[in-house]
């Protein structure tokens, strides 16, 4: 979706001051809609994807990590990974190459449905070793950052915070690369108010990411789905 139209009015009683007020109101609304992801960027990054197709094929440039029996579908403006019931760690991941540049911000709008023992989020991955650094939103309203040896073995939690956003609601996840040795990780219920759970994290002792992506994971023999509205880099 593009930007809001320019305001016009030919009435002779429509003063310059009223025009300015109307214009500012439109600009404010445009900023709100843009921050909440209603408006797609007019000049998107090459890493962006809006999930607007109707298909069961992956978007160009994306690939599976630990797919297992998890299918991908895309329709009605959402991409979905249906995670089968499993035990233990099984992150069903879709990844692409990291964006170009020494600094960037990844923001995604996504949701998840499961009663218990479910995670979903965004990730950084080192393809040569399989190591993962991921944001996660958990069934008990905990948001955090974790390390994983690979998509089937979580090795530790880096940071957590209770954010009181139940699963099933739409959330916004953000990974901000400040430099090769500094990353920030945050979550939001609306795309405007953010909780930063970890700032300035240096992953260089653990992995050097060359992939980014999103994932869903289930455990305790409960199946669930993770759905993403858009994946954007600025």
DSSP secondary structure string, 103-138?
A: -EEEEEEEEEE-SSSEEEEEEEE-TTT--EEEEEEE
In this predicted structure, the answer to whether residue 206 has a pLDDT above a threshold of 80 is yes
Kindly report, residue by residue over 18-34, the tens digit of the pLDDT: 444 433 443 443 444 44
Own/partner pairs, 151-160, CB within 8 angstroms, 24+ separation: 151/65, 151/66, 151/89, 151/90, 151/91, 151/92, 151/93, 151/215, 152/66, 152/88, 152/89, 152/90, 152/91, 153/89, 154/89, 158/133, 158/198, 158/201, 159/185, 159/197, 159/198, 159/201, 160/197
At residue 59, the pLDDT reads 95
* Percent share of the chain, pLDDT over 70: 79
At residue 116, the pLDDT reads 58
Domains along the chain? 1-39 (no CATH), 63-233 (2.60.120.200)
pLDDT band (50, 70, 90) for residue 151: very high
The model's pTM: 0.82
More reliable by pLDDT, 87 or 116: 87
């Amino acid at each position: 979706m593009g930007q809001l139209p320019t305001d016009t009015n030919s009435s002779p009683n429509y003063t310059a001051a009223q025009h300015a007020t109307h214009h500012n109101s439109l600009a404010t609304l445009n900023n709100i809609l843009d921050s909440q992801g209603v408006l797609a960027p007019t000049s998107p990054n090459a890493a962006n994807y809006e999930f607007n197709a109707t298909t069961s094929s992956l978007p160009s440039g994306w690939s599976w990590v630990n797919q297992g029996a998890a299918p991908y579908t895309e329709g009605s403006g959402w991409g979905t990974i249906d995670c089968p019931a499993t035990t233990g760690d099984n992150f069903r991941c879709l990844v692409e190459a990291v964006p170009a540049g020494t600094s960037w911000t990844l923001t995604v709008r996504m949701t998840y449905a499961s009663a218990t023992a479910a995670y979903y989020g965004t990730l950084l991955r080192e393809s040569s070793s399989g190591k993962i650094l991921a944001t996660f939103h958990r069934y008990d309203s905990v948001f955090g950052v974790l390390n994983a040896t690979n998509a089937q073995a979580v090795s530790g939690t880096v940071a957590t915070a209770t954010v009181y956003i139940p699963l099933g609601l739409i959330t916004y996840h953000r990974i901000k690369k400040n430099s090769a040795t500094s990353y920030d990780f945050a979550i939001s219920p609306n795309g405007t108010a953010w909780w930063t759970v970890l700032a300035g994290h240096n992953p260089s002792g653990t992995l050097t990411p060359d992939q980014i992506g999103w994932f869903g994971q289930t455990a305790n023999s409960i199946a669930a789905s993770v759905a993403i509205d858009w994946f954007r880099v600025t």
